[in-house]
C-alpha cells in the first residue's frame, strides 16, 4: 500500500509553475513522487522550479506553455501526450470596477484565466477519459465564490472558472476523471509582494492586508499546495465538482475588520 497522498509513479503537469502557488504545487508533487512537467511562459522562473525539484532529488522537466496560445498547446501535447494529474494554475489579475474595466481588460483576463483553463483541460482531459483515470485541479479564487470590491473583471473570470469546474466534473463523473477547483483567499505570493512595494508604506500596507483576514495573516503558497495535493491524490477519490475554499475563514462570513 502506498503512503497517504502519494503521487508515486504518476505524471503531473502544472501550468504557471514558475512562481508562487504553481511553483509550490510543482515542488510538493515532486516530493511525493510525481514526475512533474513545469509549464510556464516564463522560462527563467520555470527553470528555477525545475532546479529546486532536482536539487531535492525529484524529477521534473520544463515545458514552455502560454495558455493564451493555441499553437503552444499543439506543440505541448506532442511533447506531453498523457498526464495523470493536471493542475490549471496559470492566471492573471486586474484591478477595477465595471465602469473602469474596458473590453480589452476583460478579453485579456478571459484569454488567460478562462480560455487558458479551457484549453488546458481540452488538451489533456481526452487522454484521461480514454484511460479511465485522472485528476484535474483548477486554481480559482474566493473571488469566484463571492464578489470583490474593485476586482470586477478578475472576479467574473474566476466565477467562470468555478462554473467550468463543476460542469466538467458532472460531464465526466462516470469516466474515472475527477475535476475540482481550489479557491484560495489572499496568499503571500511574489505577485502580492510586488504590489506591496507600490504602496508609500509597504509595511503598513502589509499589516492592513493581514488585519482584514480572520486569522490575521495571509496564506502561504505551501498551504494551497497541500490542498491541491489532497485533490490530486487517490484519497480524494469521492471528491469531484468541489470548489474548496482555502482562505483562512474569508468566506465563512463577514469579518468585523474586513
Per-residue confidence band for 258, with pLDDT thresholds at 50, 70 and 90: very low
**Any idea which of 2-6, 71-75, 122-126, 209-213 has the lowest mean pLDDT?**
2-6
Q: In the prediction, which pLDDT does 253 show?
A: 84
Q: How far apart are CA 256 and CA 144, in angstroms?
A: 22
Is the confidence at residue 23, as pLDDT, over 50?
yes
Question: Taking the CA atoms of the chain, what radius of gyration do you get in angstroms?
Answer: 18
Of 5-19, 189-203, 233-247, the one with minimum mean pLDDT is 189-203
Q: Using one digit for the tens of pLDDT, what is the confidence trace for 44-90? A: 999 999 999 999 999 999 999 999 999 999 999 999 999 999 999 99
Residue 212 has pLDDT above 90, yes or no: no
| pLDDT tens column, 149-183 | 999 999 999 999 999 999 999 999 999 999 999 99
* CB burial string 98-135: b at 16+ within 10 A, e below: eeebeeebbebbbbbbbbbbbbbbebbbebbeeeeebb
228-247 tens-digit pLDDT:
999 999 999 999 999 999 99
The pLDDT value recorded for residue 190 is: 84
* Residues annotated as part of the active site: 154
- Long-range Cβ pairs for the range 157-161 (8 Å, 24+): 157/109, 157/110, 157/113, 157/114, 158/113, 158/183, 160/110, 160/113, 160/114, 161/113, 161/114, 161/117
Nearest of 37, 32, 47, 30 to residue 15 by alpha carbon: 37
Q: How many CB atoms lie within 10 A of CB 86?
A: 27
Structural class in CATH, domain 11-185+222-248: alpha beta
Distance CA 80, CA 6 (A): 22
Q: Which residue has the cell 490575521?
A: 216
The neighbouring-strand residues paired with 187 are 219
Residue 256 binned pLDDT confidence (cut-offs 50, 70, 90): low
The domain segmentation of the chain, as residue ranges, is 11-185+222-248
Q: What is the mean pLDDT of the chain?
A: 95
CA angle 232, 93, 228 (to 5 degrees): 10
Residue 257 pLDDT exceeds 60 = no
**pLDDT on residue 185:** 93
Q: What are the E-state strand segments in the chain?
A: 11-15, 35-40, 59-64, 85-88, 134-139, 177-184, 243-246
pTM of the model: 0.95
Amino acid at each position: 500500500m502506498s503512503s497517504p497522498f502519494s503521487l508515486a509513479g504518476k505524471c503531473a503537469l502544472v501550468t504557471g509553475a514558475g512562481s508562487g502557488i504553481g511553483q509550490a504545487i510543482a515542488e510538493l508533487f515532486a516530493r511525493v513522487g510525481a514526475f512533474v512537467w513545469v509549464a510556464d511562459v516564463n522560462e527563467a522562473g520555470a527553470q528555477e522550479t525545475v532546479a529546486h525539484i532536482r536539487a531535492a532529488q525529484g524529477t521534473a522537466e520544463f515545458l514552455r506553455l502560454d495558455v493564451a496560445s493555441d499553437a503552444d498547446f499543439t506543440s505541448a501535447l506532442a511533447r506531453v501526450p498523457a498526464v495523470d494529474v493536471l493542475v490549471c494554475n496559470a492566471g492573471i489579475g486586474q484591478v477595477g470596477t465595471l465602469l473602469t474595466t474596458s473590453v480589452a481588460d476583460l478579453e485579456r483576463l478571459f484569454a488567460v484565466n478562462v480560455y487558458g483553463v479551457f484549453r488546458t483541460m481540452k488538451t489533456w482531459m481526452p487522454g484521461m477519459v480514454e484511460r479511465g483515470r485522472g485528476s484535474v485541479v483548477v486554481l480559482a479564487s474566493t473571488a469566484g465564490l463571492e464578489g470583490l470590491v474593485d476586482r470586477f473583471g478578475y472576479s467574473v473570470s474566476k466565477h467562470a472558472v468555478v462554473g467550468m469546474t463543476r460542469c466538467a466534473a458532472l460531464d465526466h463523473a462516470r469516466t474515472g476523471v475527477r475535476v475540482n477547483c481550489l479557491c484560495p483567499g489572499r496568499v503571500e505570493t511574489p505577485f502580492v509582494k510586488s504590489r506591496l512595494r507600490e504602496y508609500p508604506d509597504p509595511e503598513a500596507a502589509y499589516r492592513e492586508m493581514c488585519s482584514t483576514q480572520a486569522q490575521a495573516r495571509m496564506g502561504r503558497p505551501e498551504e494551497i499546495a497541500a490542498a491541491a495535493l489532497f485533490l490530486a491524490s487517490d484519497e480524494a477519490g469521492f471528491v469531484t465538482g468541489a470548489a474548496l475554499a482555502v482562505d483562512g475563514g474569508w468566506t465563512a462570513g463577514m469579518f468585523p475588520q474586513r
